[in-house]
Each structure stands twice: as C-alpha cells, then as structure tokens.
Amino acid sequence: MPGNVKTTTKISFLCAFIISLLSISACAPPPETSVVTDVIDGDTIVIASGEKVRYIGIDTPEIYPEAEEHGIAAMMANRHLVEGKRVRLERDVSDTDKYGRLLRYVYVDELFINAELVRLGLAEATSYPPDTKNQRYFEELEMIARETGRGMWAE
C-alpha cells in the first residue's frame, strides 16, 4: 500500500505539471501573422485587415509626392519580397506611429524583411526610439552595404 501512495502522488504531480504547461501555452498569444495585400512604398505595406504597417528601424527613399532616387527600386524590392505573402509581424515597444500605422518587424518565413532591405542597400538604418531592439544589426548591415556599394550606396 505505501508504494501505491508514492505512485499516485507522482502521477498526480505529473498530471498537474502537464496541465500547467498546457495552460501557459494556451494563454500565450500566437504570433501576429497576416497576408500582405498592398505595398505602399519601400517601408510601408497594407495587410489583410486593411491596416498599414510601417517597418521599424529603417527608412527608404520616398515615392510620394515625387519619387526620390532609389524610391521605386525600394518599393519594387519590397513588393517582390512581401506582396501576396503571409508575413509574421513582430512588435517592439510601440504599437503604432503618429499616423496610426502599426510599427512592426516583418518576416516572410525566416527572412527578416526590414534587414533585407538594408542589406540590399535600399534602406537606411534609422533609429526611432523607443523601438530600437534591432538597431545595431541594421547599422551593421548598412555599413556593409555602403562599403560594398549596394543599391543607393553604389554612387
């Protein structure tokens, strides 16, 4: 009989542990994902909900009201990378900017889109505190793009 009490206690403990793990994972929010329905420019997209998403930590040449040099190239690269694709959206500190756009790091599968645009020389690393989690990485990618003459740094 004493062996059965120990076994029952171990099983009860194990069941409680498994239930607590399941409860924790059930409460964790799923990653924010959506499909990109439109590309506005090199650093702004529209997702299926109709919300605009501004990429955190980078700035690309503008295309509105007039296209700046490399603005169209940045928009076309962004379109190629994300349009019609399911993206994972990762928040830093801020949820939205002063224009009501969601501020996010954007991924297609494992490709980090914000970083890829900097790596290609089509975006500058631009710090917008308090959203600076990846800023050092963006700055390193920009330095390499400049040194190797990629994109806007080719001149």
- Residues identified as active-site: 54, 62, 101
Cα–Cα distance, 148 to 146 (Å, whole number): 6
Cα–Cα distance, 137 to 58 (Å, whole number): 11
Cα separations in angstroms, 104 against 15, 30, 54, 87, 133: 39, 15, 6, 11, 11
Place of tokens 């924790």: 24
Q: What angle do CA 89, 90, 92 make, to 5 degrees?
A: 145
